[in-house]
Amino acid sequence: MMTFYKYQGTGNDFIIVDNRLQKIDKGDTKRIAELCDRRFGIGADGFILLENDENVDFKMVYYNADGNESSMCGNGGRCITAFAKLLGVIKNEAEFIAIDGLHKAKIKNDIVHLQMQDVSIVKAFDSHLFLDTGSPHHVELVTGLKDFEVKANGSKIRYGEPYNKAGSNVNFVEQVSDTTFSVRTYERGVEDETLSCGTGVTAVALAMHKSGKTKSNIVNLNTPGGQLKITFNSDGDGYEDIWLIGPAIKAFKGEIEW
């Protein structure tokens, strides 16, 4: 039997497992996908393993709902930080390694602050912007976001030129105020809209600053699953000291056959 924990960060939900004893077969992608299935398994947007690392507090290994190991997940990074505190691996501050490198995190009043990787390039096109915040993100302004067909339009962009097989996450954005934007995201690997995407809202905040839609270095992002905040510093071209801030909540603990 495998003991698991279910966490969610603004509705972006994850199965998280303590794998410090290396009992989980990380090559069994079929089983990981089954566990993430919302009808025949536990149900989640992703599957995360917490493992030991010689140099930092822990290692994060992240899989998309399709069972494949994936690029960085921001909300997953916040949730595994809260999980590490629950296990006693950390107190209120952490350094951990993920697929995109080193991350720092801190917990203040149950809100998790996750430092993201610096972003040196934001590509601007006529209809959208593109950047990598640990995962690739297409950012596009739309009107009528509430009724927008995210899955239909997102899937076309995700598989279209120039992304093709590798794909991109797709964020549709509507401006609310000078410092606030609403976001809906189609995530590759989930192949559907998720209630929130951490690397996605990070990409949106930077893209909106780059395009002049906001001059603030503190940006609020409304997602279907709740509100997140991004803070950053800009050197004129790129962005550094980027923090993804929001709640990470344990939903339940359970056991299931691996």
| Annotation says 73 is catalytic | yes
Of the candidates 112, 197, 206, 248, the residue annotated as catalytic is 197
**Could you tell me if 84 and 51 are in contact, meaning their C-beta atoms sit under 8 angstroms apart?**
no
Q: Within 10 Å of residue 195's Cβ, how many Cβ atoms? A: 18
Rounded mean pLDDT of 208-237?
A: 96
Residue 87's CB: how many other CB atoms inside 10 A?
13
**pLDDT tens track for 112-147:** 999 999 999 999 999 999 999 999 999 999 999 999
Helical segments of the chain, H only: 29-36, 74-87, 150-159, 198-210
- pLDDT tens for 247-257 read 999 999 999 99
State the fold for domain 2-112+248-256. Diaminopimelate Epimerase; Chain A, domain 1 (3.10.310)
CB atoms within 10 A of CB 257: 7
DSSP classification of residue 73: -
3-state helix, strand, coil split of the chain in percent (to 5) is 20, 45, 40
* Residue 83 pLDDT grade (very low, low, confident, very high; cuts 50, 70, 90): very high
The two three-digit tokens of residue 206, written as one number: 């930077």
Percent of the chain at pLDDT > 70 equals 100
Segment 205-216 shows an average pLDDT of: 98
Answer yes or no: 79 catalytic. no
Give the separation between CA 141 and CA 210, rounded to whole angstroms.
13
**Every domain of the chain and the residues it spans:** 2-112+248-256, 123-246
- Structure confidence at residue 164 as a pLDDT band (50, 70, 90): confident
Instruction: Label residue 20 by pLDDT band (50, 70, 90).
Output: very high
pLDDT at 179: 98
Active-site pick, 16, 50, 73, 97: 73
Q: What's the pLDDT at 39?
A: 97
2-112+248-256 and 123-246 agree in CATH topology = yes
Strands 136-141 and 169-175: parallel
Given this model, what pLDDT does residue 168 score? 96
- The answer to whether 170 touches 157, Cβ cutoff 8 Å, is yes
pTM of the model: 0.96
Contact by Cβ (8 Å): 159, 169? no
pLDDT category at 45 given cuts 50, 70, 90 is very high
Q: Are 111 and 183 in contact (CB under 8 A)?
A: no
Look up the CATH superfamily of 123-246.
Answer: Diaminopimelate Epimerase; Chain A, domain 1 (3.10.310.10)
